[in-house]
Structure 1
Amino acid sequence: MAAFNLTHSDPSMFIIMGISSLEAAHIWISIPFSTFYIVSLLGNFMVLSVVGKKQTLHKPMYLLLCMLALTDIITPTFVVPKALSIFWFNLKGITMAACLTQMFFLQTVSVVHSATLVTMAFDCYIAICNSLRYAIILSNTQIAKLGLVGLIRAVLFILPLPLILSRQPFCANSIIPHMQCEYIAVVKMACGDITVIRIYSLVLMFVVMGFDLTFIALSYGLIITVVLRFSSKKAHQKALNTCTTHICMMLTYYTPGLFSNITYWFGQGITPHVHIILADLYLLIPPMLNPIIYGIRNKELRDKVGKYSCCRR
């Protein structure tokens, strides 16, 4: 308790509380959280391993899946170990530098993830609407360049946030009512003028999410227009199978995030621990489900995973 009070009174240290009002159940809550994390790591590392070893999978679509798998590995890795240290050992203290670093990487990887989904929508559009020129327009090199552009965009957009916050004075009682350095909670702890941060955050949200969702909607609007012109049912089914996997991954990524934000801003009647659980499940569920989704929907990848597993045995 003495160590906790010392940390609590130090403005250079933050206290991550975990799930408030459910401290007695932290051990039990850690079981699904650690399970989700392990399943996520196993699934995504399996995808990376199979695609890396099989030359026939060195195609733009599978490179995009590898990029998605990397973001799905990084995201929970920045959340779960600290959460488990809170659940198991009550280690709630974190330095301001570590907190801002965690926040920066979580936000950056989130923007990279969104950019990857945009690139996958473009991949679907080219594969269906301009299939004869697919190999020319989207080579492995082009996919690598698009991935690099997405990473640079994310870093340039997100980097100002921790830099601005690092110059802000924080209150002595720097308590974060979450299991991670959640951006809005950290901003609320600042004792100085946060007008610039609020404005930049809103602009960033509309620019990044607005552009990405608009581009994805436009891509699928054009895809639907082209698919409706197909005369055979077989062509319809093939086009549908090409896009269904991507649509499922978009739903698992954007839907929990939008639901979490809506409940945060408009769900005043919802208890705080529900907000916290929703915010963290948003970082855990998509990374766990994505390998399952494109493992089930993609026959070529599913067959390669099956053969790889048999060989390992």
Structure 2
Amino acid sequence: MQETPFCLRVGNLLPYSMSESNTTDFTNPSTFILLGIPGLEMVHVWIAFPFCTMYLTAILGNFTILFTVKTERSLHGPMYYFLCMLAVTDLVISTSIVPKMLSIFWFNSREIDFSACLTQLYFIHCFSVMESGIFVAMAFDRYVAICYPLRHSTILTNSMVANIGLAVMLRSGLLALPFPFLVRQWPYCRTNIVPQPYCAHIAVVKLACTDTSVSSYYGLFVVFCVIGLDVIFIALSYTQILRAIFSLPTKDARVKTFGTCISHLCAILSFYIPNLFFSLMYRFGLNVPLHFHVLIANVYLLMPPMLNPIIYGVRTKQIRDRLLRLFTYKGT
């Protein structure tokens, strides 16, 4: 049973044919070979530049968010604490993937130790699940702020925010923990070539020469637990938020209140909507070349870490004003 295309976001790969890679005779290799983007090896050097630009933008943007929130006391509140958690998550996801990817594209460094492969796989899964959980926490913050504005500070205290953050971390860590253990237990006797630039659960499991249904079923379980529950909770939160907004007496009040949700909604859309795109491509784009699947999957995986700080930096007045004061002060 195949995992659903959402797993691309947590590091999985669309099906590929074993005939597209070389086979060899060995058992349980100590290293894997990452191909990068199969079929585009001749232009790897040039493909690396946009990926490097996306990574540098993500690093600069997310560190700017962290610095701004830390130095501006007026931003020491639940929404910005969750935003800092999102920034750290995006930094870990992009750093787990891009440095090795660039070493493949620029230096042809394709080998990765088996343990390092499992570590990369775990971090990609864990922090991708964590990002979805953080969006749920941010939706809860918006729900309390709009539906119970007078009780916001008493409901979302610092201890409550810390407990929510801890719950998000524990959920992601525990749900992702079986993935490397499942990968480690399978025998590998056909090939050690992974047709993409990073280790991914299904991409590695497909190299095993045994029945790996357990891995596929568990992957589906994680997808339904994470995406199913998280999207339902976010949808319920925004249903109540919209009801509260439409009950406001004036149009200006409705627009101003809804404006506080725009950044969060944009970040959610940039995270979840591509899942629908890949679902459609997975089901109806079977003739799409493998290199196109891999290339788009990598772009999509690195897009939220780059876009999130831009979205919040542009749309959040407090962050924008703090940055303007910082640069104005330095310029004088």
Alignment-derived partner of residue 237 in structure 2: 219
Identity of aligned residues (%): 45
Which piece of structure 1 moves more, 265-274 or 110-119?
265-274
Q: Alpha carbons of 1:108 and 1:32: their partners in 2 closer, same or farther (altered >3 Å)? A: same
Q: Alpha carbons of 1:13 and 1:291: their partners in 2 closer, same or farther (altered >3 Å)? A: same
Alignment-derived partner of residue 41 in structure 1: 59
Alignment-derived partner of residue 232 in structure 1: 250
Alignment-derived partner of residue 118 in structure 1: 136
C-alpha distance in 2 between matches for 1:35 and 1:26? 15
> Given the alignment of the two structures, is residue 130 of structure 1 paired with residue 186 of structure 2, yes or no?
no
Question: What value does the CA root-mean-square deviation take over the aligned residues?
Answer: 1.9
Aligned-partner residue type, residue 174 of structure 1: N
Identify unmatched segments of 5+ residues in structure 1: none
Aligned-partner residue type, residue 258 of structure 2: L
> Given the alignment of the two structures, is residue 270 of structure 1 paired with residue 288 of structure 2, yes or no?
yes
Identify unmatched segments of 5+ residues in structure 2: 1-21
Alignment-derived partner of residue 296 in structure 1: 314
The answer as to whether partners of 1:27 and 1:87 remain within 8 angstroms in 2 is: yes
For residues 1-313 of structure 1, the aligned pairs below 5 Å read 11-313=29-331
Aligned-partner residue type, residue 40 of structure 1: A
Aligned-partner residue type, residue 181 of structure 2: L
Q: Given the two structures, how large is their TM-score scaled by the length of structure 1?
A: 0.94
C-alpha distance in 2 between matches for 1:82 and 1:259? 27
Larger RCO: 1 or 2 (CA < 8 Å, sep 6+): 2
The answer as to whether partners of 1:171 and 1:191 remain within 8 angstroms in 2 is: yes
**What is the count of residue pairs matched by the alignment?**
310
How far 1:79 sits from its partner (Å)? 0.6
C-alpha distance in 1 between matches for 2:236 and 2:329? 43
C-alpha distance in 2 between matches for 1:78 and 1:186? 16
User: Tell me, what secondary structure is at the counterpart of 2:249?
Assistant: coil
Aligned-partner residue type, residue 239 of structure 1: T
Aligned-partner residue type, residue 72 of structure 1: D
C-alpha distance in 2 between matches for 1:71 and 1:179? 20
User: Tell me, what secondary structure is at the counterpart of 1:201?
Assistant: helix
C-alpha distance in 2 between matches for 1:95 and 1:151? 27
The answer as to whether partners of 1:7 and 1:13 remain within 8 angstroms in 2 is: no
User: Tell me, what secondary structure is at the counterpart of 1:15?
Assistant: strand
C-alpha distance in 2 between matches for 1:110 and 1:5? 31
C-alpha distance in 1 between matches for 2:276 and 2:26? 33
User: Tell me, what secondary structure is at the counterpart of 1:189?
Assistant: coil
